[in-house]
């Protein structure tokens, strides 16, 4: 009996020695796109300096070695994440083309609304804050944002203006300048206010877009000898309303800055 038990025990131990170790199932590795999305979320929440590769890899559930093999270092990962976000966020030119109407004013109203809504979206505000915060130390971020984020829109708008004016009187450089001015006047104001934390009612934003488009066209058409699209009295009323609105905005921004300064001082103490 003892001999049989010893034989069975010896056989069991031999089987254990020769058996292949059972491997735990490996967690599927994230794709580059998924990793960049998670990294961008962390960069947005904590900023570039306070977001470590260790934090990113822990959140993504992958080894640091994998991240370094794919992107090289944290800066390259950050830039890649921003580039992906810009490519996904920017408005396709085809969408702007579909918004065109027979009237240049109506076309610019529709296009301006699309661009403002895009910049005021959560993705647009996140990109604006990140690029503003980091483009000083990484000029390539600003260059890429201008080239890929607004450069194509400027080229499209310049072509739109040349199609509505005589090309021999509207040089390409002037068309580019007009496109830049349109973006600064119609899109830049609401975007900058939102970045400062000033939230506007949609009706107010829509009214300002309409006024700004009419003001822009008034100057543009006067420059090239065309009739203004709206009567002078209506433009004057809109101008006075916008002037009062800008004054209130400046006052509110000053109060917001003071609150931020006091909050920061309280944190330091």
Q: How long, in residues, is the chain?
A: 269
Q: Where in the chain is the domain with CATH 1.10.10.60?
A: 31-89
Question: Any idea what DSSP says for residue 84?
Answer: H
Q: Which of 49-63, 139-153, 208-222 has the lowest mean pLDDT?
A: 139-153
Q: Chain-wide mean pLDDT for the chain?
A: 79
pLDDT of residue 155: 93
Name the residue with higher pLDDT: 127 or 211.
211
Question: Any idea what DSSP says for residue 117?
Answer: H
Name the residue with higher pLDDT: 71 or 199.
71
pLDDT at 1 over 70: no
249 in Cβ contact with 190 (< 8 Å): no
Name the residue with higher pLDDT: 178 or 171.
178
pLDDT of residue 213: 93
Q: Which long-range contacts (CB under 8 A, 24 or more apart) does 159-167 make?
A: 160/100, 160/104, 160/107, 161/220, 164/104, 165/224, 165/226, 166/224
Q: Region 9-21: what's the mean pLDDT? A: 56
For 28, list phi and psi in degrees, rounded to 5: -60, 135
178 in Cβ contact with 219 (< 8 Å): no
CATH number of 31-89, picked from 1.10.10.60, 3.40.1390.30, 2.40.110.10, 1.20.1090.10: 1.10.10.60
Q: Which long-range contacts (CB under 8 A, 24 or more apart) does 15-19 make?
A: none
pLDDT of residue 4: 57
Q: Can you identify the CATH homologous superfamily of domain 92-250?
A: Tetracycline Repressor, domain 2 (1.10.357.10)
pLDDT of residue 23: 47
Q: Residue 209: which of 238, 175, 230, 177 has the closest Cα?
A: 238
Helices (H) and strands (E) in the chain, counts: 14, 0
C-alpha to C-alpha distance for 213 and 217, rounded to whole angstroms: 6
pLDDT of residue 130: 85
Q: Residue 217: which of 165, 152, 154, 153 has the closest Cα?
A: 165
Count CA atoms within 13 Å of residue 114 on its CB side.
19
Q: Residue 64: which of 54, 74, 73, 72 has the closest Cα?
A: 54
Report pTM.
0.68
Q: Where in the chain is the domain with CATH 1.10.357.10?
A: 92-250
Q: Region 47-69: what's the mean pLDDT? A: 90
The tens digit of pLDDT for each residue in 187-237 reads 888 887 877 777 788 898 899 999 999 999 888 887 765 544 444 555 566
């Amino acid at each position: 009996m003892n001999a049989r038990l010893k034989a069975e025990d010896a056989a069991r131990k031999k089987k254990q020695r020769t058996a292949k170790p059972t491997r735990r199932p490996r967690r599927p590795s994230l794709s580059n796109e998924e990793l960049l999305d998670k990294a961008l979320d962390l960069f947005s929440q904590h900023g570039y300096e306070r977001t470590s590769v260790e934090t990113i890899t822990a959140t993504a559930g992958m080894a640091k070695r994998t991240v370094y093999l794919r992107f090289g270092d944290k800066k390259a990962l950050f830039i890649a994440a921003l580039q992906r976000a810009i490519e996904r966020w920017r408005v396709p030119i085809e969408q702007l083309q579909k918004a065109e109407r027979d009237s240049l004013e109506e076309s610019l109203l529709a296009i301006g609304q699309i661009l403002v809504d895009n910049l005021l979206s959560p993705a647009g505000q996140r990109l604006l804050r990140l690029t503003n915060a980091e483009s000083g130390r990484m000029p390539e971020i600003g260059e890429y944002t201008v080239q890929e984020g607004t450069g194509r829109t400027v080229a499209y708008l310049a072509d739109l203006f040349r199609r509505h004016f005589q090309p021999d009187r509207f040089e390409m450089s002037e068309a580019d300048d007009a496109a830049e001015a349109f973006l600064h006047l119609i899109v830049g104001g609401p975007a900058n206010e939102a970045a400062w934390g000033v939230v506007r009612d949609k009706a107010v934003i829509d009214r300002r877009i309409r006024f700004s488009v009419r003001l822009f066209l008034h100057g543009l058409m006067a420059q090239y000898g065309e009739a203004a699209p709206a009567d002078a009295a209506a433009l004057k009323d809109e101008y006075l309303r916008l002037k009062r609105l800008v004054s209130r905005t400046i006052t509110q921004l000053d109060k917001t800055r003071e609150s931020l300064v006091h909050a920061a001082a309280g944190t330091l103490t």
